Amino acid sequence: MDDPVRPSVDERLRRAGLPGLPRSAWLEIDQDALTDNLRAVRGLVGPDVEVSAVVKADGYGHGLEVAARTFAAAGATRLCVATLDEALALRRAGVRAPVLILFAIPAAEVRMAVAEGFELVAADPHSALGILAAWRRAPEAASAGSRGLALHLEVETGLTRAGIILEGVADVAGAISDTLGARLAGIWSHLASAERPDTSAEQERVLLAAAEALRAAGIPPPSVHLAASGGLFAGTSPHHGMVRPGLCLYGELADELPISAAARGAASALRPAMTLKARALRILEVPTGTAVGYGGRWRAERPSRIATLPVGYGDGWIRGYQPGASALVQGRRVPLAGTIAMDALAVDVTDVPGVGLEDEFVLLGSQGEACLSARELALRRDTIAWEVLVGMAHRLPRVYHSGREVTGIRTSVGEVLVKADPQVRAARRPERDGFRSRREDDEGWAE
């Protein structure tokens, strides 16, 4: 059985005045963990370094809007996304923090991006000049002032993905400087192998050479940033004036990353914020020899109890995790039985007496002393923790909580219902029949 002191997720949602779950599989997102992880990074870099929290890819699967609000409330200087529509989603949700879009946007959208206050990236000469040309045609360029086009110039330092080569940075920065209403906001790059001091040092050398070239040209960059989670915790990249933590804010680090002595305290403070839970649809007693799942590849070697969970590869719990994958129930591991399907999988609960339909199973996260980490799942399919987290499907409901209090829910139809307090502001009124919210003047809930 689950912790008898902690109410079920259904009861916690009911107490919060929120709708019930549309299915018996869901993600729980711990906002306290998100907050504490941001503060651990802040403690590592000190008060004078800007912390730009990366919330791209739906906040690494945790939920773009809630992750953004939580990090902003915890002290993030700005938010980083990958695409224009991610940035717009934040504005539509009422998030007013500064936003940096890390990849180039279409030139046709520059006016709108500037109007929203987004900071953009000059990732290569062609796109940079296209963005500048589009801005020059904008009527507001002449009177934009400090609210004009802010560009972070990306330098090619060795990742060989995007960026302007060292010999070309002064020309692009000069074009920015010569454009009315445009300004150079910073220069940056991204480490290719944060765990390797030699290659990281070479990338930093190139970035600093670019900064020096700009100073020599009379265009000193206001900001230089290189370190993300890997560089921060491996100590392979100085903080400079700004860092861009991503994975670590969600409580994970790369498996192969060596932690520097200076970062060990912060690393030990990180807590995973995501847990994937499910309740069984049925528990069936089967005789020896019974085949389970597509293809009948698994057969019971003894009289067994088989629990069907409503989670499958359509939810991001993919077939690559088998064979040998497991789930947690009552704080114990139980093995998968049969093939993972799109919407369901089966587990053998024979060795855990008393498992019932009310029990919560965990397929990612901790239960009691047992843990199924994103790293473990990543190693099962020769991938990385990033992919495990962002692979959690949008159709999985997200239940947000702070301590024992549920703060919101997001379902596959897109609602975000959160308590209107100073840290987390409410977003949209739910439109689906049966989903309701309280008005802002009714116990602090927003419509």
Say if residue 445's pLDDT is above 60: no
CA distance 421 to 19: 19
**% of the chain with per-residue pLDDT over 70:** 91
pLDDT tier, 439 (very low <50, low <70, confident <90, very high otherwise):
very low
Please check whether the two domains, 31-269 and 274-390, share a CATH topology.
no
pLDDT tier, 414 (very low <50, low <70, confident <90, very high otherwise):
low
pLDDT at 429: 36
pLDDT at 427: 37
pLDDT in tens, 32-84: 999 999 999 999 999 999 999 999 999 999 999 999 999 999 999 999 999 99
pLDDT at 307: 99
The CATH architecture of the domain made up of 31-269 is Alpha-Beta Barrel (3.20)
- What Cα–Cα distance (Å) separates residue 101 from each residue in 118, 155, 290, 324? 7, 15, 53, 40
Q: Summarize the confidence of residues 417-431 as an average pLDDT.
A: 41
pLDDT in tens, 2-42: 454 678 999 999 888 888 899 999 999 999 999 999 999 99
pLDDT in tens, 368-391: 999 999 999 999 988 999 999 999
The β-bridge relationship of strands 282-286 and 304-309 is antiparallel
274-390 to CATH, choices 1.10.10.10, 3.30.930.10, 3.30.365.10, 2.40.37.10: 2.40.37.10
pLDDT in tens, 179-221: 999 999 999 999 999 999 999 999 999 999 999 999 999 999 9
pLDDT at 18: 86
What residues have CB less than 8 Å from 211, skipping those under 6 apart? 187, 220, 221, 224
pLDDT tier, 441 (very low <50, low <70, confident <90, very high otherwise):
very low
Rounded to the nearest 10 degrees, how much is the dihedral formed by the CA atoms of 61, 57, 36, 373? Answer: 40
CA distance 170 to 316: 44
pLDDT at 121: 98
Helices (H), 116-241: 125-136, 169-177, 197-216, 229-234
Q: Summarize the confidence of residues 333-340 as an average pLDDT.
A: 96
φ, ψ of residue 121 in degrees (nearest 5): -115, 135
φ, ψ of residue 161 in degrees (nearest 5): -125, -45
What residues have CB less than 8 Å from 273, skipping those under 6 apart? 29, 30, 31, 33, 34, 37, 62, 250, 251
**% of the chain with per-residue pLDDT over 90:** 84
Say if residue 428's pLDDT is above 80: no
Encoded tokens for 314 = 């359509």
For the chain, the average pLDDT equals: 91
pLDDT at 146: 58
Say if residue 145's pLDDT is above 70: no
- Domain ranges for the chain, please list them: 31-269, 274-390
In residues, how long is the chain? Answer: 447
Cβ atoms 48, 418 nearer than 8 A: no
Name the residues annotated as catalytic: 56, 294
Encoded tokens for 160 = 């060989």
Our CA angle for 346, 347, 353, nearest 5°, is 135
Encoded tokens for 105 = 């946007």
